[in-house]
Amino acid sequence: MNHKKRLKVVVIGGGSSYTPELVEGLIKRRHELPIKDLYLVDIESGREKLEIVGALAKRMVEKAGADIRIHLTMDRAEAIRDADFVTTQLRVGQLEARGRDERIPLKYNRIGQETTGAGGFAKALRTIPVILDICKEMEQLAPDAYLLNFTNPAGIVTEAALKYSKIRTIGLCNLPIGIKMQIGEFYGVEASRVDIEMIGINHLNWTTRILIDGVDVSESFLDKAAGAKGLTMKNISDLEWDGQFLQSLGALPCSYHRYFYMKDAMLAEQLEDLETQGTRADVVKQVEAELFELYKDPNLAIKPPQLEQRGGAYYSEVAVNLMTSIYNNKKDIQTVNVRNNGIIPFLPDEVSVEVNSIIDADGAHPIQLGKQVGPEIRGLLQLVKAYEELTVEAAVHGDLKAALQALTIHPLVGDAEIAQSILNDILEQNREYLPQFQS
């Protein structure tokens, strides 16, 4: 990347309610990351939202006096042409499809979640073909650009792009930065004073080392974390970790581990919520409606704090940090989704993993782990990664055998007959989004 050049950044799914967050980040860092053109791209059915968010983005840029041109478009290819960074935050089938993903497993007494288990599987089937289309367009129109993928299930979608395209792809999630913030709050220090080492994959990563101002506090932290509140993301229930369990694990699980390690309690809560407030998609629909009402206000020219109600809060910091480090060849450490390349020795080289990486002008380079892990982490990680590999194959090739095996071995499904019923429901309820399965 030419360091003197002013940049073209493309956001696919630009009409998302999260976009003001990204715009705020880009404005704050404009002296380090000189963006000339920001393209917000959406599809026809998202036009109204794009126009509302786009108008707010323009007001934000103007208020800040930033020299960034905002473009709103439905022409994805034109936006991608000669881009430097393409970020994806799209949702195929929108919140309606998310609601279906969450409800189908619950019908069979299985966890209904947007990114993990059967819900994440369904989302992967819908999303991977669209992301690979974007990759193809990039190969033709912006072959040197980076694809920064936020689209969930981020680890699986990133793996598909790494395996099936030539585009330099890095997968991003706000969960690692969220953990740093939670630990910082726990100790009453700024997140910038916290360093962590993680091993795992997206939404299934364990924090194995914690340093505050360079001092290793990992062991004492696990003692203190027992029974503590606040170690979770906004979208996941704050059930406390048991002290003995944490000691036996020797690591801090991530928020999403509650679906695995506290499966029964989480399922009971989901079933209860279903009766009272619906699924998370229903909650998010309301939050979104309120956000869009705020965004319409012509006097609003900042990101409203209400956006922090969403689980993806602060995601822009992750995106902006990454772009800034690539552009400025910073060589700093960030936790991102990359090709394993032997970093986690018991996983295949070509799969995606979420680990600390050095970020420079050539992208993200995973770094050796300081701490290896035992069978308690290895076992679950290998199993869920095998599920992810099968899911990529199912999504790319419309492979029903891979699909059935993926769902059957997933620890949140774990039964061939139920897996088949869930798969049938997913295929039936998503027909219009799954061309790879129509033959």
Q: Which stretch binds ligand G6P (CB under 6 A): 2-10, 32-40, 171-179, 321-329?
A: 171-179
Smaller CB separation from ligand G6P, 112 or 398: 112
Write out the binding residues for Mn(2+).
173, 203
Taking CB under 6 A as the rule, does residue 86 contact ligand G6P? no
Taking CB under 6 A as the rule, does residue 59 contact ligand G6P? no
Name which position in 53, 83, 262, 284 contacts ligand G6P (CB under 6 A). 284
Name which position in 175, 381, 412, 426 contacts ligand G6P (CB under 6 A). 175
Q: Closest distance between ligand G6P and the C-beta of residue 312, in Å?
A: 4
- 295 flagged as catalytic: no
Taking CB under 6 A as the rule, does residue 280 contact ligand G6P? yes
Q: Closest distance between ligand G6P and the C-beta of residue 170, in Å?
A: 15
Name which position in 14, 105, 312, 366 contacts ligand G6P (CB under 6 A). 312
Residue 349 structure tokens: 């080289």
Asked if 251 contacts 209 with a C-beta cutoff of 8 angstroms, the reply is no
Listed in sequence order, the residues at least 6 apart from 383 whose beta carbon sits closer than 8 Å to its beta carbon are 409, 411
Q: Which stretch binds ligand G6P (CB under 6 A): 9-17, 170-178, 364-372, 375-383?
A: 170-178
> Which residues within the stretch 146-165 sit at the binding site for ligand G6P (CB under 6 A)?
152
How far, CA to CA in Å, does 219 sit from each of 93, 106, 243, 248?
A: 44, 37, 12, 12
Q: Closest distance between ligand G6P and the C-beta of residue 64, in Å?
A: 26
Smaller CB separation from ligand G6P, 59 or 303: 303
Name which position in 174, 207, 208, 340 contacts ligand G6P (CB under 6 A). 174
| Residue nearest ligand G6P (C-beta atom) | 311
Taking CB under 6 A as the rule, does residue 135 contact ligand G6P? no
> Which residues within the stretch 192-231 sit at the binding site for ligand G6P (CB under 6 A)?
none
Q: Closest distance between ligand G6P and the C-beta of residue 342, in Å?
A: 26
Q: Closest distance between ligand G6P and the C-beta of residue 307, in Å?
A: 10
Q: Closest distance between ligand G6P and the C-beta of residue 282, in Å?
A: 11
Q: Which stretch binds ligand G6P (CB under 6 A): 29-37, 105-113, 168-176, 260-268?
A: 168-176
Strand 215-216: give its sheet, edge to edge: 194-201, 204-212, 215-216
The Cα–Cα gap between 15 and 260 comes to 33
Taking CB under 6 A as the rule, does residue 233 contact ligand G6P? yes
Taking CB under 6 A as the rule, does residue 100 contact ligand G6P? no
Smaller CB separation from ligand G6P, 152 or 357: 152
Taking CB under 6 A as the rule, does residue 339 contact ligand G6P? no
The active-site residue out of 18, 256, 327, 387 is: 256
Listed in sequence order, the residues at least 6 apart from 137 whose beta carbon sits closer than 8 Å to its beta carbon are 76, 77, 80
Q: Which stretch binds ligand G6P (CB under 6 A): 40-48, 164-172, 310-318, 321-329?
A: 310-318
How many residues lie near ligand G6P (CB under 6 A)?
11
The Cα–Cα gap between 23 and 68 comes to 10
Write out the binding residues for substrate.
98, 152
Catalytic residue positions, numbered: 256
Which residues would be at the binding site for ligand G6P (CB under 6 A)?
152, 173-175, 233, 235, 280, 284, 310-312
